[in-house]
Amino acid sequence: MGMLVLGLTGCVNFVQRIEEPIAAEADVPGFQSWIDEARAQGGMVRLLVVHGMGHHGPGYSSTLQNRVFRQCGLVPLGVQLEESFRAGEAPLGNLRVEAFGDQDGTPRVWAYEVTWSPVVDQVKRELLAFDSESRYADRRIWLNGELKRSFINDKFADPILYVGGYRTKIQRPVALTLRRILRESQAPRDRLVAMGLSLGSRILFDTMIGFSSRACGADVPLAAEPSPEDLACFKQMCAREVPVWMLANPLPLLELGANPADDVHPPSGGPAIGSLRILALSDPNDLLTYPVSPEFLARYRGHGLQLSAVNISMHVEPNSILGLVVNPLHAHTDHDANPAVLDLLAKGWSLRAAP
């Protein structure tokens, strides 16, 4: 009987590829269009990248950046800056700036990669390391132990910290980097583009909403104080529409942690200074990503930016087991390993291409 089962399983292909095309609600622009536009105006693309939950080190997005910009005909020009943010002895995160350009060395993209995980590493060690001591950890079955250590303690703790008391601290390195971009940009020739990975999508969104509220005159607290010149540049860059790629975004899920009676960024009441377009890329088998609904966007109407969203559904992890299950972690994180995703980010997608 055992030999029969073994023989049958040897004939079965457990891995089945999901053959479904991209589904999107509207045309999706890609980096190529923004690079070409900036080149024609004598400027460059200023890309702000923010990572998601879990510990990250500088360079976490380097593979994704290199593969996308290679498809846009650019070559890496090297790391231009590596900097650590600190408040006394307390780490506030890291900034890594990498340039990409034409074959002759003319820069076309400056990518500002923010690492905020050092902000929360210490508190997670202080409160959760006790759970990893052998008297507790050694009693767990291997897979459960790995899930507890690498997913719950390292990763899932971060959104809890963010919706709790660490929102401003986590936003600070992102706000400092956005302020730096504004001071280094040649507006209106340069184009501001942002990319959030997982939880980074929410961090980016909240930071942008804070800056736009302040630019409209609302007296709201910010994680990093901008100058009047910073806000003037922010207005100029938003006037052209700021595209924000959100890869596996949890925006609606984390909105559940918002207190309706305690609006962090109250509406300014004034006219919009520009627009922000969310490009929400989600794998339907990713358990931690959500489409961005009109109801969600309506909650932030009047905060200085006209908001719109294009929801894009595609299989980041295209392989299933017997058509029954897909690895949700790969669906959440493997954007840099999927050629179709890289092509979408670089070249965009048109409704005319839909079957």
Phi, psi of 187 (to 5 degrees): -70, 145
- Domains delineated in the chain: 14-118+171-353 (3.40.50)
Beta strand pairing call for 305-313 and 274-282: parallel
pLDDT value of position 3: 46
- The residue with tokens 């460059």 is 44
Strand locations in 157-271 (E)? 191-197, 242-247
pLDDT value of position 217: 87
pLDDT value of position 82: 97
pLDDT value of position 7: 46
pLDDT value of position 8: 41
User: Please, are residues 164 and 123 in contact by the beta-carbon 8 Å criterion?
Assistant: no
Low-confidence stretches of the chain (pLDDT < 70) are 1-13, 259-270, 353-355
Task: Write the pLDDT tens digit of every residue in 257-290.
Answer: 876 655 555 565 668 899 999 999 999 999 999 9
Cα 100 from Cα 71, distance rounded (Å): 12
Task: Write the pLDDT tens digit of every residue in 121-151.
Answer: 999 999 988 887 778 778 888 888 888 888 8
Q: Which of 7, 3, 52 is nearest to 200 (CA)?
A: 52
Other CB atoms within 10 Å distance of the CB of residue 182: 23
Using alpha carbons, list the distances in angstroms from residue 190 to 98, 102, 236, 243, 281: 16, 16, 10, 13, 25
pLDDT value of position 144: 86
Cα 312 from Cα 300, distance rounded (Å): 21
Q: Which two tokens stand for residue 102?
A: 């034409």
Phi, psi of 336 (to 5 degrees): -80, -5
pLDDT value of position 345: 98
Cα 132 from Cα 144, distance rounded (Å): 12
* Sign of the dihedral through C-alpha 313, 317, 318, 322: negative
pLDDT value of position 265: 53
pLDDT value of position 266: 57
